Amino acid sequence: MKSALGWVLFLSLSAFLQWRGSMAQWIPATATFYGGSDASQTMGGACGYGNLYSAGYGVMTTALSTALFNNGATCGACYQIKCDPSKSSWCKLGKSVTVTATNFCPPNYALPSNNGGWCNPPRQHFDMAQPAWEVIGVYRAGIIPVFYQRIPCRRSGGIRFVLNGNPYFELVTISNVGGSGVIRAVWIKGTRTDWMPMSRNWGMNWQSGAYLNGQSLCFRILTDDGKMVTFYNVAPYYWWFGSTFSSLLNF
């Protein structure tokens, strides 16, 4: 028990130090847009959120280049982005927009990084949902230079848990996370089990190999700013695969 507690405290401190280093800095990057004027083509994506409206994110979202995506570990992060008018005449002056990372912008090595391969490493690039991009840029530009900073996420309502898988494989999609927005670690507990660590499968899908059918489920989440919240009795004992439950709590 002591070793487990020590490991949790270590994770919390490590997460906080990494989070502090990523916040409150304006960093140069570039931004394009995708998904259409109604952002309908941004649904789904490499973070696994599916319908971004039901996940709590709407149309103010972005895909991240390899340098920012961190193999999906940055899913859920919030960024404030503004156009750099010193480098472009296509900026909307005085405007900024807050977006959530919900997708991956893959590299295109067939094109040079400064002419079409915008998401090629090591570029820091945002491929934003078109409604979000048009808050700060004029449509005709296509691509604009920007400054960005990571900021805390403000969410409405509690965290959402979507349960999928089979009796010996639970795959839980976790969304609408406030605060840092980025999950560092997750634990799950059934009525008849102790707390068990989950592992990140892809995006914000977390997996467990325990048999938990017929048990109410609790979750414990550590975000990358070192904060931890326990969500008791999120799913009742009669939960089923394909069901969605919302907690009353958030960060």
pLDDT at 1 over 60: no
If pLDDT is split at 50, 70 and 90, which confidence band does 112 have? very high
Per-residue confidence band for 184, with pLDDT thresholds at 50, 70 and 90: very high
Overall average pLDDT of the 169-173 stretch: 98
- Between 112 and 16, the more confident residue is 112
pLDDT at 233 over 80: yes
Please name which of 213, 170, 161, 188 lies closest in space to residue 56, comparing C-alpha atoms: 161
Tell me, what's the pLDDT at 7?
54
Please give the angle made by the CA atoms of 181, 183 and 187, to the nearest 5 degrees.
Answer: 140
**Minimal CA–CA distance to 67: which of 116, 16, 117, 120?**
120
- pTM greater than 0.95 (yes/no): no
pLDDT at 40 over 60: yes
Q: Which residues contact 94 (CB under 8 A, 6 or more apart)?
A: none
Task: Calculate what percentage of the chain has a pLDDT beyond 90.
Answer: 90
Please give the mean pLDDT across all residues of the chain. Answer: 93
Place of tokens 């409604």: 131
Residues 46-105 have pLDDT tens digits of 999 999 999 999 999 999 999 999 999 999 999 999 999 999 999 999 999 999 999 999
Number of other residues whose CB lies within 10 A of the CB of residue 185: 20
Strand 217-223: give its sheet, edge to edge. 196-197, 183-190, 217-223, 228-235
Mean pLDDT of 190-194: 98
